Amino acid sequence: MSARDEVLANIRRSLGVKGNETIRRQIAMERLERAPKGIIPERGQVSGEERLALFRRQAEAALATMTEVSSADEVPQIVATFLRDHNLPATLRMGQDQRLTGMPWGETSLEVSQGPSQGGDINAVSHAFGGVAETGSLVMVSGPENPSTLNFLPDNHIIVVSAKDIAGDYETVWNKVRFAFGKGSMPRTVNWITGPSRSGDIEQTLLLGAHGPRRVHVVVVRD
């Protein structure tokens, strides 16, 4: 028996079930098929400039920083400026996302490399699937386009998101993920990033970069 089978067997034993009960399986399949919505807070039910302003407020409250640009072509220079202003190396790792690779990085002095991080990268840039205004969160889907390692290993993570992809609430983004990938071929992971990694476990002292990047900078493209 594998470790996975053992864990599931222990869960079934504690619940007093075998896992093949017809009614229980029907209930589970119906829930997966319908994907019922959870509670949707009123805070995010705004649109247009008000939604973008809410996203900024929430992102900055979570200790992220944010810049808005009018076109994707402006992103490389914004990234270069961010790294320079924080006295960071002019190096950058990204995945294979064509929205990123198609940007004019050659107009900067940045040294850009592609592929997953092995843990030695200081800076990374990714493109978010979307954003959520109610919490200022970025939604990252895994894959070679935007490797999940870039969400956790580099000290500084720059995340690009299109303004049109910023929704008011979580449920709207989950619907977009299901529509884009299909329930039978969902991405391996969907990471929700709200500001830099932080922990206050030791004497309630806030520590940035505890389990991931110590800086998260969001670039919103308003095209």
Contacts (Cβ under 8 Å, ≥6 apart) of 181: 141, 187
Lowest mean pLDDT among 27-31, 55-59, 175-179, 200-204: 200-204
- For the chain, domain boundaries: 1-34, 45-221
Helix (H) or strand (E) holding 164: none
User: Top-level CATH class of 45-221?
Assistant: alpha beta
Mean pLDDT value of segment 8-36: 87
Give the pair of three-digit tokens for residue 164: 């049109």
29-51, pLDDT tens digit by residue?
888 788 888 889 899 999 999 99
Lowest mean pLDDT among 68-77, 84-93, 129-138, 204-213: 204-213
Which has more confidence, 206 or 184? 184
**Strand pairing report for 111-114 and 130-132:** unpaired
Residue 147 to residues 33, 43, 101, 126, 189, Cα–Cα distance (Å):
28, 31, 14, 8, 10
**Strand pairing report for 130-132 and 137-141:** antiparallel
55-94, pLDDT tens digit by residue?
999 999 999 999 999 999 999 999 999 999 999 999 999 9
pTM of the model: 0.86
Residue 203: per-residue pLDDT: 67
